[in-house]
């Protein structure tokens, strides 16, 4: 099965303030958007982040062919246990999810 990063144009993650991270999947076209929106359950993303689906805000934006997820950061930005000051590393994690 292909990875999301092979179907979508771009997957990025970024801080949304010090306490949230947001992940944008730019699908690139309608067909890719429909495939990713239908093939990527919120529960899969939640499991990847060791959290529950109700902790995740999801936006399927057909006009932009974007699927977006926002969730509290796994670690608050900048504390000793945080590994990624700008929240850049979670995008690749999502890009590597395999879907049908």
Partner 1 sequence: MTRILIPSGALGLGYDAEALDRGIAAGPDIIAIDGGSTDSGPSYLGRGVSKYARSSTKAEWKGLVAARARAGCPLVIGTAGTCGTDSMVDWMADITRECLTELGLSARIATLKCEQAPAAMAAALREGRITPLPAAPEVDAEGVAACSHIVALAGTEQIAAALETGAEIVIAGRTTDTAIIAALPLMRGDHAGAAWHGAKVGECGALCATHPQTGVLQLDIDATGFTVAPLAPQAACTPQTVAAHMLYENSDPFILYEPGGHLDVTRATYTPQDSRTVRVEGAEWVPAPAYMVKLEGARRAGFQTILLTLVRDGRYVANIRDWCAQIEERHAARVAARMGLNAGDYRLELRLIGVDATLGPLETAAPAAAEVGVLAIVTAATQEAAQDIAKLLNPLVLHHPLTPQEDQPTFAFPFSPPEIDRGAAWEFCLNHVLRLDDPMSAFRLEVHDA
| Binding footprint of partner 1 on the chain (CB under 8 A) | 14-20, 22, 24, 26, 48-50, 57, 59, 61, 63-64, 66, 68, 70, 72-74, 76-81, 83-86, 89-90, 93, 96
Smallest separation (angstroms) from partner 1 to the CB of 57: 6
DSSP 3: B
- Output the furthest CA–CA distance in the chain (Å, rounded): 42
Task: Find the Cα–Cα–Cα–Cα dihedral 41, 62, 66, 32, rounded to 10°.
Answer: 70
At its nearest, how many Å lie between partner 1 and the CB of residue 51?
Answer: 10
Give 69's strand partners. Answer: 23, 58
Residue 33 CB, nearest approach to partner 1 (Å): 13
């Amino acid at each position: 099965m292909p990875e999301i990063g092979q179907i979508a144009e771009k997957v990025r993650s970024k801080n949304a303030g010090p306490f949230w991270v947001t992940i944008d999947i730019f699908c690139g076209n309608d067909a890719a958007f429909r495939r990713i929106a239908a093939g990527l359950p919120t529960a899969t993303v939640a499991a990847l982040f060791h959290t529950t689906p109700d902790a995740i805000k999801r936006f399927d934006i057909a006009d932009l062919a974007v699927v977006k997820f926002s969730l509290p950061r796994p670690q608050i930005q900048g504390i000793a246990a945080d590994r990624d000051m700008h929240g850049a590393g979670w995008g690749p994690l999502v890009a590597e999810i395999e879907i049908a």
